[in-house]
């Protein structure tokens, strides 16, 4: 399915055949551009950036690369190819044909799912808008900008669904997504993680590893939806999302690699000596892992959730890779292990799998995160470094669900408030840690140069060398 780039709004949904919808989206477009200029990457309007742009939704050759000024990026509406005779694969409607229109009884919950997902897309752009001013290399700056424009396109994808299928309510929700802003005291973003600051590149790399990975699992669950336009939208978004997680995983790997190299050169693991050498000591990397992982784990919501069960039963939001799971896809009799605090200890209980679909998605996410840490640890091992990075317990530093209000150490012990206060500086970044990391954030934009706290990438983008001129300043 090729994408029509002759329209003002590139698309593969036949937008020119629906004049009412086309006019509505074209009227939203100036507000989007105003938001981009005000809240998008700071000071970057005139840069020529080597970006990929989607040209198709086919598996192969779906994008091309070239220099683009970001305000001229062709944001558009792209849905994955329809699947012939696709049926709903889970819930009460299992086996029925997927819906091409919104079922009246599911209008409100579907809109809620779309708005919640859509709200995250511009939020991350807002969180990252000043990072270009402290980029460690042109390669990294280009990757930041690629993620930013694609998050903008993901917003377009959700806005299309709201405009096309939800009438006046949808149009109002689309406007509201440009009115809320990350961290705004009066009109914050819907989910807490998207109101947190991203003050430096270590935070950004952790965000793209942990929080964008949450996005992968949320999009994959929505890609199972019985509402086919939502499913097709999310399936194509997942194609672009893979790069975002790649940036996070390889970025943290490069931080760890550089620190390990300096540890070997100096023959020390003392944080102070490593800081004098201008790299991020591994205990500090661990603290940032603890912080960003715990914030991201909260994004999956309550362990036991009536809303999640209702979404599943209605066929609106499934599980990760639903069709590959070996059960009845209704879950009326199935059980799933759920963590809870009982008598001052963390216990595991077998509860209804239907009410625990959030927890199952979180379990899949945790396994995926662990694979990334295993790769980082193999890099440390190869350098002869004994230190190993770890995921903290799923209940560490939680604000939502069964662990809310409970103090839990990274190794999974329920601790008193006094013990938490005594040890939290060993577990989460302190003001001193953040000040040190921020002090390393000096902009490097000459081709072939890179900041001293991060290693160069193994390879560049689109077959280019890593020191290619990915951004041209005008």
Q: Quick check: 320 and 221 in contact, CB under 8 A?
A: yes
Give the Cα separation of 457 and 452 in Å (integer): 13
Give the Cα separation of 317 and 224 in Å (integer): 6
Q: Please report where in the chains the tokens 């996005």 appear, as a residue.
A: 215
Question: Taking the model in full, what pTM does it have?
Answer: 0.97
Residue spans per domain, the chain? 15-472
Q: Please report the pLDDT score of residue 61 as a whole number.
A: 80
Q: Phi and psi at residue 226, in whole multiples of 5°?
A: -70, -15
What residues are paired with 249 via a beta bridge?
A: none
Q: What is the H or E stretch that residue 376 is in?
A: helix 357-382
Q: Please report the pLDDT score of residue 1 as a whole number.
A: 64
What does the pLDDT look like over 134-169, one tens digit per residue? 999 999 999 999 999 999 999 999 999 999 999 999
| Secondary structure (DSSP) of 63-117 | EEEEEEEGGG----B--PPPPTT-B--SSTTTTSBPBSS--GGGHHHHHHHHHHH
Q: Quick check: 420 and 318 in contact, CB under 8 A?
A: no
Give the Cα separation of 352 and 24 in Å (integer): 44
Architecture of domain 15-472: Orthogonal Bundle (1.10)
pLDDT in tens, the chain (474 residues): 678 888 899 999 999 999 999 999 999 999 999 999 999 999 999 999 999 999 999 877 889 999 999 999 999 999 999 999 999 999 999 999 999 999 999 999 999 999 999 999 999 999 999 999 999 999 999 999 999 999 999 999 999 999 999 999 999 999 999 999 999 999 999 999 999 999 999 999 999 999 999 999 999 999 999 999 999 999 999 999 999 999 999 999 999 999 999 999 999 999 999 999 999 999 999 999 999 999 999 999 999 999 999 999 999 999 999 999 999 999 999 999 999 999 999 999 999 999 999 999 999 999 999 999 999 999 999 999 999 999 999 999 999 999 999 999 999 999 999 999 999 999 999 999 999 999 999 999 999 999 999 999 999 999 999 999 999 997
Q: Please report where in the chains the tokens 């900041």 appear, as a residue.
A: 451
Give the Cα separation of 196 and 127 in Å (integer): 7
Q: Please report the pLDDT score of residue 58 as a whole number.
A: 85
| Secondary structure (DSSP) of 261-325 | HHHHHHT---HHHHHHTTS--HHHHHHHHHHHHHHHHHTT--SS-HHHHHHHHHTSS--TTGGG-
Residue 394's SS3 state is coil
Residue 351's SS3 state is strand
3-state secondary structure 17-73: HCHHHHHHHHHHHHHHHHHHHHHCCCCCCCCEEEEEEECECCCCCCEEEEEEEHHHC
Q: Quick check: 136 and 222 in contact, CB under 8 A?
A: no
Q: Phi and psi at residue 51, in whole multiples of 5°?
A: -110, 155
Give the Cα separation of 470 and 139 in Å (integer): 6
Give the tokens for residue 183.
Answer: 């961290």
Give the Cα separation of 313 and 131 in Å (integer): 42
Residue 364's SS3 state is helix
HSE value, Cβ hemisphere, 13 Å, CA-based, for 77: 25
């Amino acid at each position: 399915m090729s994408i029509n780039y002759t329209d003002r709004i590139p698309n593969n949904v036949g937008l020119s055949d629906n004049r009412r919808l086309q006019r509505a989206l074209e009227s939203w477009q100036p507000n989007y551009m105003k938001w981009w200029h005000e809240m998008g990457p700071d000071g970057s309007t005139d840069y020529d950036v080597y970006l990929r742009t989607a040209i198709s939704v086919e598996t192969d050759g779906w994008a091309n690369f070239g220099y683009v000024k970001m305000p001229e990026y062709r944001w558009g509406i792209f849905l994955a190819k329809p699947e012939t005779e696709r049926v709903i694969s889970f819930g009460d409607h299992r086996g029925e044909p997927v819906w091409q229109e919104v079922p009246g009884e599911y209008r409100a919950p579907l809109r809620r799912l779309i708005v919640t997902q859509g709200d995250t897309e511009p939020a991350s752009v807002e969180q990252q808008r000043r990072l270009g001013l402290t980029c460690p290399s042109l390669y990294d700056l280009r990757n930041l900008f690629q993620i930013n424009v694609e998050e903008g396109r993901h917003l377009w994808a959700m806005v299309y669904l709201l405009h096309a299928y939800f009438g006046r309510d949808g149009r109002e929700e689309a406007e509201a997504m440009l009115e809320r802003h990350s961290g705004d005291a009066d009109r914050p973003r819907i989910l807490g993680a998207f109101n947190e600051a991203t003050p430096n590149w270590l935070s950004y790399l952790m965000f793209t590893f942990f929080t964008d990975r949450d996005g992968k699992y949320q999009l994959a669950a929505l890609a199972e939806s019985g509402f086919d336009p939502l499913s097709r939208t999310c399936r194509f978004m997942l194609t672009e999302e893979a790069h975002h997680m790649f940036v996070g995983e390889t970025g943290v790997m490069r931080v760890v690699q550089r620190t390990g190299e300096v540890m070997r050169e100096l023959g020390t693991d003392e944080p102070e000596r490593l800081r004098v050498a201008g790299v991020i000591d591994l205990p500090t990397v661990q603290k940032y892992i603890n912080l960003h992982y715990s914030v991201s784990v909260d994004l999956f919501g309550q362990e036991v959730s009536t809303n999640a069960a209702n979404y599943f039963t209605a066929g609106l939001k499934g599980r990760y890779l639903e069709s590959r799971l070996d059960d009845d896809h209704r879950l009326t009799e199935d059980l799933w292990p759920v963590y809870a605090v009982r008598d001052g200890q963390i216990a595991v209980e077998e509860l209804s799998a239907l009410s625990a679909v959030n927890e199952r998605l979180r379990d899949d996410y945790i396994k995926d995160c662990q694979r990334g840490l295993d790769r980082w640890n193999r890099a440390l091992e190869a350098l002869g470094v004994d230190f190993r990075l770890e995921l903290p317990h799923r209940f560490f530093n939680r604000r939502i669900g069964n662990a809310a209000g409970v103090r839990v150490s990274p190794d999974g012990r329920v601790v008193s408030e006094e013990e938490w206060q005594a040890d939290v500086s060993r577990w989460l970044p302190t003001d001193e840690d953040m000040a040190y990391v921020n002090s390393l954030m000096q902009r490097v934009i000459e081709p072939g140069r890179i900041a001293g706290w991060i290693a160069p990438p193994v390879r560049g983008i689109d077959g280019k060398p890593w020191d290619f001129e990915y951004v041209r300043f005008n």
